[in-house]
Structure 1
Amino acid sequence: MDQRSSPPPVPCWIPAAGHALRHIGVHFDAVRVIGLAGEQVAYELLQFTGFRAGPIVRSGVGDRSTYFLLPPRSAAAYRWPAGARLIGRDLRCDAFVGIPALGGRTWPLDWRSRPTEESPFVDAALLHEVAVAVLVGAVDP
C-alpha cells in the first residue's frame, strides 16, 4: 500500500459521525472563550499560524463558545485572562466537551480548525499569548 495516498490517521477522540462528548484531561485539555471574543481569538491564532492552529471547535448554540483543544495537562501551566476559561482535569471535577466528526452533519458543533499530523493540538503558549492580546489587549502576538 502506498503510504502517500493513504489518508492521515484520525485521532481516536474524534467520532466517526455526528458529534460526541469527550472527557477532558484524557486526550486533551480545553480552553473556552465565549461569543465574539472566541471568534476573535481563533481568527488571530489562525492568522498567526498560517491556518494551521490545531483543533478548534465552535458551538452554534447558547453562548456560542469556542473551544481550543490543548495537549493533556498543558493548560494549567498558564494563568488565563478573564474571558478564557480553563477546562481541564486539574479542576477536581469531571468536564466534557463536544467533538464533531470530520464530515457529515455535526450541528451544533463544527471545526474552526481541524487537528492535523503537524498540529494535533493547539500550542498552549501561543494560545495564551493570543488570548491575552485579544482579551486584555496588553501584548501583541
Structure 2
Amino acid sequence: MNERIDAPWIPAWVPASGHALRHAGVHFDAVRIRGDQGERVATELMVRADFDAGPVVREVSGDRNLYFLLPPQTASEFRWPPGVRALTRRHGTLAYVGVPALTGMTWPLSWRSEPSEKAPFVAGELLREVVDGVVSRAGSRRWQG
C-alpha cells in the first residue's frame, strides 16, 4: 500500500511513504495560507488551472495551513498580502514544509492538488492573481493569516 509510484515525473522530494520535512527554498519555495482563505485560494486555483494546478499540501490539523509549492527561488519575486507567507531561503530564513507521499497513510498531511508531469509546481503568477482575486472578493471581511 505504501509502495512508491514509479514515474519519471514524480519529484524526488515526494517521499515514497508517509511524509517528510523538506527545506523550503531547496526543492521548492512555498506560499503558506491558513484555513478557509487557503481553501478558497486552492479551489479558485484549481478551476483556473483546469484542475492541474501543481502541488498544494494541506495540513488537516492545527491551523489547517495550505502550502502552495512553487519553483525554487520564485516565491519572493511577488508581494503577498498580510496573512500570506512566502517560505524561501532568502534573507537567512529557514523553513520546512511537510510533504506527503502520493499514496498510503500521510496524516496529518494530504494533497489538495498533486504534482503532475504537466504541473510539477504551482505557477507563481497565477497564484498571485488568484490570491488578489480572493482578497478583493473578501470585501469587508478581514483577510486572516
TM-score, normalised via structure 1 length: 0.90
Q: Percent of counterpart pairs with the same letter?
A: 55
**What's the counterpart of residue 143 of structure 2?**
none
Shift of 1:53: 0.2
**Structure 2 counterpart of 1:108:** 108
Match of 1:28 in 2: 28
Query: Aligned runs of 1:120-139 on 2, under 5 Å?
Result: 120-137=120-137
Please give the alpha-carbon distance, in whole angstroms, between the structure 2 residues aligned to 1:91 and 1:62.
27
Runs of 4+ aligned structure 1 residues displaced above 3 Å come to 6-9
Rate the CA distance shift 1:51–1:82 in 2: closer, same or farther, 3 A.
same
Q: Give the C-alpha shift of residue 81 in structure 1.
A: 1.1
Aligned residue in 2 for 1:56: 56
Supply the RMSD in Å over aligned alpha carbons: 1.4
User: 1:68 corresponds to which residue?
Assistant: 68
Post-superposition offset of 1:136? 3.5
**Total equivalences in the alignment:** 133
**CA contact under 8 A between 1:54 and 1:113: conserved in structure 2?**
yes
Gaps of 5+ in 2: 1-5, 139-145
Return the alpha-carbon distance in structure 2 between the equivalents of residues 34 and 91 of structure 1.
23
Gaps of 5+ in 1: 1-5
Amino acid corresponding to residue 55 of structure 1 in structure 2: P
TM-score of the superposed pair, with normalisation by structure 2: 0.87
